Amino acid sequence: MRVRQLTAAAAALLLAAGLGGCSDDSGPAHTPAPVPVPADPTATTGDVGPADRAAVRDGGTLRWAVDGVPATLNVYQGTANADSALLAHALYPSLFRPDEHGRLVPDPDYLAGAESTPPGPGPQVVTYRLNPNAVWNDGTPVSAADLDAQRTALSGLDPAYGGARAVGYDAIDSVTQGADPSEVRVTFRRPYADWRSLFGPLYPAAETATPAAFGRPLTGGGPSAGPYTVARYDAEDGTVSVVRSPLWWGDPPKADRIDFLAAPPEQRLDALDQDRLDIAPLTAAVDRAVPVPAADATAAAAASASPSVAPPPAAAPEAAALALHRAESLPGVTVHRAAAASLTQLTLNAARGPLTDPLVRRALTRAVDRQRIADAALTPLGLPAAPLGSHLLAGDQEGYRDNSGAAGPGDPGRLLDEAGWKRPGGGGTRTKGGKPLSLSMLVPAGSATAKRTADALTAGLADAGIAVQQVPAPADSFVGEHLAAGDYDLALLTWPAGPSPAIEQRPAYAKPRPDPDGVPEPGGNFGRSGTEEIDRLFERAATESDQAARLDLLQQADVRIWELGHSVPLYQRPELVGVRTGVLGAGAYGFGWPRFQDVGWSEPDTGQD
């Protein structure tokens, strides 16, 4: 799971992961409950090697690349990252897990069933039936005490916990044992439609029951309840090793051991080529590839078993293309591709310059050629060039609908003319009062995908008479010095696709409220535009238990966001993963995450023992 709060700090992480930053995404833990609307059948929903347990041999070791040994395995702590989430899925329960379309389904290893009381005058009560065989690896059963301690830690009622509060726990009034130790009753103080997204991952009460316990870095020393348990946690050596848990009650894990090895993205192609890794996220390795001098490239090609052509010094997009070619050419490695559960968009700053005029924002929204941009961003990576039409749902997510028509038909030039921005002589940059219609666009520095996106946007907006100056900014200053400060006109951002849009994405579109000095405070809404109606639609969707009705409210909110000219959805972030031949059950997971007990080797003589 990724803890997703739309704050400046979280935005910086999402920005980095979303447009080719330093951390490849391991997939979300929270996804929306099922809704009775089919997903886009053309969308990419993941690319994972066959996971038939019967085809996976028993034994062997898998070597899995991570950015580094995480500071904690508690994904709710402020120091957690995507690697924390990846390991947590192997070690801790999640009562529900997402399928490839983002639908939350019970994980039978932990949950025999769950149901919520229907809407009515009484409080909402969710009854969970835990798998009676589920135990922590110290033999203690998973129980109501664990759910209650986690609710206390994450509710925000006690600031001493000081963690990254997960959305939804503040809606819980009480957690009690039901008719027997396997039954847990969770009573809500207000209706909460996304209750399936809670308690995933679930941590033992020993790690969450007190602020002191919750504040400790979780590095595998306490109880866990997954198919694997931690055998080694060595930050200095860059290794986390997990082995089969002797108390695991579900399908036996296939691999004896999984070594999670620190391998910076720029080193992963070499590590795969030299048979030092078996599974390696490659999105950042490709997207942030640096130009290689011709002499160095010639020497590297001569020393490598992979076919290669010595390139001249290249710009970032060309370097990325060469890195992808190398990845695809590595012997015994397959590159898996998918559209990740993240939405890339162009955000418009409604509080500065020409974009304070709604007519200009709507015109710019119409002028963005989303298909052209998707072609530029995704086609070079071998992914379908599928533009997004929703601010809130991904194309492979259940309930997706393209609402881009709400931006309005017709020529954006007519709106710009109406707003007073005229095109001299019918061509060139538009002007008003002698000033050109010139906008800055904040672009993540060093990302080839972002650069291709920005170039396509710049060219397309120039066709409409809007001049754009690209402003590359590194991740460490992107949010604090630019987004939060309002120092930009346009910005390329990536947000997570759900899993609970009514709750988790609302801050990105909530109407800015005045601070004590009367100055509008945008919070997580970097576009700085919003309406009371949009806020009400999100509020109603957050408490609507009927899935079809909740989806309809979200669609209405998305339409209003389009009409407001807040931002323009562009495409889902690309996800690339290199997997060694013979490894089954691994790849680009999209909305899902690994079922670690099913991942392993297909042949007796393959792998590292």
pLDDT of residue 293: 58
Nearest residue to 583 via CA among 258, 240, 228: 258
* Confidence bin at 393 (pLDDT 50/70/90): very high
The values of phi and psi at residue 62, to 5°, are: -105, 140
Cα(514)–Cα(296) distance, integer angstroms: 56
The CA-to-CA distance between both ends of the chain, in Å, stands at 30
pLDDT at 490 over 90: yes
pLDDT at 16 over 80: no
pLDDT of residue 547: 87
The values of phi and psi at residue 509, to 5°, are: -130, 5
244 beta partners:
228
> Considering the chain, what is the average pLDDT of its residues?
87
- List Cα–Cα distances, 514 to 45, 517, 535, in angstroms: 41, 7, 15
Cα(398)–Cα(281) distance, integer angstroms: 25
Most confident of 24-28, 400-404, 543-547: 400-404
pLDDT of residue 399: 86
70 beta partners:
none
* Contact between 235 and 253 (Cβ < 8 Å): no
pLDDT at 24 over 70: no
Total residue count of the chain as it appears in this document: 609
* Contact between 15 and 21 (Cβ < 8 Å): yes
* Confidence bin at 32 (pLDDT 50/70/90): very low
pLDDT at 174 over 80: yes
pLDDT of residue 187: 98
More confident residue, 262 or 40: 262
The model's pTM: 0.89
Strands of the 239-244 sheet, one edge to the other: 228-234, 239-244, 257-262, 61-66, 279-281, 567-580, 333-348, 490-496, 438-444, 467-473
pLDDT of residue 310: 40
* Confidence bin at 425 (pLDDT 50/70/90): confident
Q: Which residue has the tokens 């991740």?
A: 475
- The arithmetic mean of pLDDT across residues 94-119, rounded, is 92
- The arithmetic mean of pLDDT across residues 564-592, rounded, is 95
pLDDT of residue 500: 80
pLDDT at 375 over 70: yes
Element housing 259 (H / E): strand 257-262
Cα(457)–Cα(368) distance, integer angstroms: 7
pLDDT at 20 over 60: no
Task: With H, G, I as helix, E, B as strand and everything else as coil, classify residue 189.
Answer: coil
pLDDT of residue 178: 97
Which phi-psi region, left, alpha or beta, contains residue 553 (left: φ > 0; alpha: ψ -120 to 50)?
alpha
Enter the tokens of residue 132. 């009676």
List, for residues 426-476, the tens digit of each pLDDT value: 789 999 999 999 999 999 999 999 999 999 999 999 999 999 999 999 989
* Confidence bin at 52 (pLDDT 50/70/90): confident
- The arithmetic mean of pLDDT across residues 139-155, rounded, is 97
Least confident segment among 7-11, 363-367, 557-561, 565-569: 7-11
* Confidence bin at 604 (pLDDT 50/70/90): low
pLDDT at 244 over 70: yes
Q: Which residue has the tokens 């301690």?
A: 149
Q: Which residue has the tokens 């460490």?
A: 476
Most confident of 37-46, 312-321, 398-407: 398-407
pLDDT at 607 over 60: no
Cα(528)–Cα(533) distance, integer angstroms: 15
Q: Which residue has the tokens 């200095």?
A: 236
List, for residues 249-266, the tens digit of each pLDDT value: 999 999 999 999 999 999
More confident residue, 344 or 165: 344
pLDDT at 305 over 50: no
- The arithmetic mean of pLDDT across residues 509-525, rounded, is 87
